[in-house]
Structure 1
Amino acid sequence: MTAWSGGFFPAPPEGAAYGLGWDIAGVVDAVGLGSPWTPGQTVIAFSNGLPLGLNRGQAEYVVVASHAIAEAPAGVEPAHAATIPLNGLTAAQSVELLGIQAGQTVLITGAEGAVGGYAVQLAKRRGAVVIASDLSPDGEFATKVAGADVYVPASQPLTEAVRKVCPEGVDAVLDTARLGQALIGAVADGGRFVTTRIDALPQVERGIRVLLTQVGPDAAMLTTLSDLAAAGDLALRVAETYPLQEAARAYAHMTRGGFQGRIVLTMD
């Protein structure tokens, strides 16, 4: 599921309607000319919702471009497969921007969340030393499931805690928790700082390269994520499922917070 900050959109133009939902798991019903897909295939897809409000994932039928589709992970329930596209691509594209190599250190905030949890797993696959941080006191998912090497609760002064582990600073930061400027001090001179939110871009200093993840469709990357999930190498989390007709209840649940994993709408 996806919601705008605070759950509100500006009013749509007269005669228009918003669509919601970036994530899709389902079966191909029909294809256009030249499409490599065939009816009956099970797929996952990224419903590119830009410009604002043109998402269409939360519906019985959705039209998406071929380059936004990948085969669904074999042996994975559709509800779990549906958690991959938006957050998986955001995490994968963010890790690409980090430019980390084996043995380098990266701090990932929001590491118990949907994007951060995937990012920890993908950074570890690159051989990075991962310092994870989030609101939970123990970081059980980030360390025991996602594989982070060190966990620092967000209740601690984060920059100081990271500098205790890496006195010269980490090679890169992936900030999914909107901490922004408060974290720039954790990065080594000449390192990288990647954020998933444009409203959390820190000021550039000490030769640090600041980058913004702008997630977009990528069939090859989505296929890789699907393959990892099928092999059991990507942990997928579903907090709760709701039938599509109960979408309002699902959004109310989401705004309450306090859960791990994604809330998924189903067509059962």
Structure 2
Amino acid sequence: MKAVGAFAFGGPEVLRVVDVPEPHAGPGEVRIRVHAAAVNPSDTLIRAGLVPLPGVRPPYIPGQDAAGVVDQIGEGTVTGLRIGDRVMAMVIPIGPRGGAYAEHVVLPESWVTRAPAGTGHVEAATLPMNGLTARMTLDLLDLPPGGTLAVTGAAGTFGGYTVQMAKAEGLRVIADASPADEELVRALGADLVVARGDDVAARIRQAVPEGVDGLADGALIGASVLGAVRDGGGVAALRGTGALGTPERGITFHNVYVPDYGGYHDKLDGLRQMADDGAVTLRVAGVFPPEQAPDAHRLFEAGGVRGRLVIEF
């Protein structure tokens, strides 16, 4: 089958179309004929050799988001899915089977759910990993309805989902944006928008003098965001809590490690329901054939992409 992978770590140029053995579903598993796979930050880290891949032999196949059609169900698998169902899934690309940049992926049935109604494969591929990251962020912060959440990187895919999901759950949202992104972030539902930047904490604190109850650091700003958070509040970090320094003022640090939500079918299907209800917006920034995967990675790493770039098989 066709896949996009790398035989050595490096820049986008190491990605190429490769031919790898077709996987088959075993007991408890389903196979997806992948039609779309989104490009995520972790994909670039895997390609660059910055993520440990113990026991994995090349080609290294990135990809954490897959959307397509169920085309095989393993013997004895108990599932509500049927052959031909349109589905989406989060994929963990650090195992021997690789990631979602391939024509087929095989996953435990609990990792797969139906795609949102009325969406194409490309749109559905933007939701699983980033949506689950937003879901996990809100679950860890565990703010009560009416609580105040700050979101940095609000114009990005994770940030946008976090803003929309927080509003759906009755939170007040303070979000950052550049002048070019302010209209977008307001449209996502933010109650108040402040200018982005490393000193964003001061602007959030000016808007909310008592400090916010929780903060989702989608922009990966680190320790300087702590000034925005009230004593006893919480901060959710996407790349580990080490960059936040030492906890102070009773602030709790939460490490958002989305693979921990792998197989949580209720969480994944909850995203589908939110998309069906119009509570989250699926944003596609560009579509590339497998042969142009290096171009997709270059564009992503250049920054400023709003929505997800998607590789279409």
TM-score of the two chains, using structure 1 as the length reference: 0.92
1:142 maps to: 185
Instruction: Give the stretch that moved more between structures: 223-232 or 3-12.
Output: 3-12
Query: Hey, which of these two has a bigger chunk of strand by percent?
Result: 2
CA-to-aligned-CA distance 1:93-117 (integer Å, 9 cap, x gap): 1111111111111111000001010
Q: SS state of the match for residue 62, structure 1?
A: strand
CA distance in 1, matches of 2:138, 2:166: 6
How far 1:232 sits from its partner (Å)?
2.3
The aligned counterpart of 2:3 is none
For 2:23, the equivalent position in structure 1 comes to none
1:79 Cα offset (Å): 0.5
Q: Distance in 1 between matches of 2:272 and 2:46?
A: 31
For the 8 Å contact 2:165–2:279, the answer to whether it is kept is no
* Alignment counterpart, residue 152 of structure 1, candidates 183, 186, 194: 194
Q: Which of 76-85 and 148-157 deviates more?
A: 148-157
1:31: which partner in 2? 73
Distance in 1 (alpha carbons) for counterparts of 2:47 and 2:65: 18
User: Following TM superposition, by how much is the alpha carbon of 1:54 offset from its aligned partner in structure 2, in angstroms?
Assistant: 5.9
| Gap runs ≥5 in structure 2 | 1-38
> Map of 1:36-47 to 2, 5 A cutoff?
36=79, 37-47=81-91
1:96 aligns with 2:139: yes
1:62 pairs with one of 82, 98, 105 = 105
Counterpart mapping for 1:135-214 below 5 A: 135-144=178-187, 146-155=188-197, 157-198=199-240, 200-214=243-257
Instruction: Indicate the SS of the match to 1:59.
Output: coil
SS of equivalent residue, structure 1 residue 100: coil
Residue number in structure 2 paired with 1:22: 64
Give me the whole-angstrom Cα distance separating, in 2, the residues matched to 1:29 and 1:201. Answer: 45
Please say if residues 87 and 114 of structure 2, whose CA atoms lie closer than 8 Å, have aligned partners that are also in contact. Answer: yes
Q: 1:48 offset after TM fit, Å?
A: 1.8
Aligned partners of 1:76 and 1:230 also within 8 Å: no
**How far is the alpha carbon of 1:7 from its aligned partner?**
5.2
Q: 1:247 aligns to what?
A: 293
Mapped to 2, the partners of 1:15 and 1:49 lie a distance apart of 12
Contact 2:150–2:215 at 8 Å: present in 1 too?
yes
Stretch of structure 1 that moved more, 167-176 or 248-257: 248-257
Query: Which stretch of structure 1 is more off in the superposition, 177-186 or 193-202?
Result: 193-202
Could you report, residue by residue, the CA deviation over 1:170-191 in whole angstroms, capped at 9, with x for unpaired residues? 1111111111110111111111
Deviations 1:193-224 (A, max 9, x none): 11111153332001111111010322211111
**Does residue 130 of structure 1 match 2:173?**
yes
Distance 1:54 1:30 in 2: 16
In 2, Cα distance between equivalents of 1:160 and 1:118? 24
Task: Quote the Cα distance in structure 2 between the aligned partners of 1:121 and 1:14.
Answer: 37
CA distance 1:8–1:140, change in 2 (3 Å) = same
| Paired residues for 1:227-242 under 5 Å | 227-242=273-288
In the TM superposition, residue 156 of structure 1 has moved relative to its aligned partner by 7.3
2:265 aligned to which of 213, 216, 219: 219
- Displacement of 1:137 in angstroms is 5.0
Query: What's the counterpart of residue 265 of structure 1?
Result: 311
The number of residue pairs the alignment matches comes to 265
Aligned-partner Cα distance in 2 for 1:138–1:28: 37
Q: Rate the CA distance shift 1:5–1:15 in 2: closer, same or farther, 3 A.
A: closer
TM-score, with structure 2 as normaliser: 0.79
Equivalences for 1:73-84 in 2 at 5 Å?
73-84=116-127
Contact 2:198 2:221 in 1 (8 A): no
Aligned residue identity for 2:246: Q
User: Partner letter of residue 90 of structure 2?
Assistant: F
Structure 1 residue matching 2:88: 3-state secondary structure: strand
How far 1:66 sits from its partner (Å)? 1.1
Q: Secondary structure at the match of 1:139?
A: helix
Matched AA of 2:69: V
Q: Distance in 1 between matches of 2:56 and 2:152?
A: 40
**Structure 1 gap segments, 5+ residues each:** none
Other-structure match for 1:87? 130
- Pair 1:14–1:82, CA change in 2 (3 A): closer
The one-letter code of the counterpart of 2:44 is: W
**RMSD after superposition:** 2.1
Q: Give 1:245 shift.
A: 2.7
Summarize the Cα distance change of 1:15–1:191 in structure 2 as closer, same or farther, 3 Å threshold.
Answer: closer
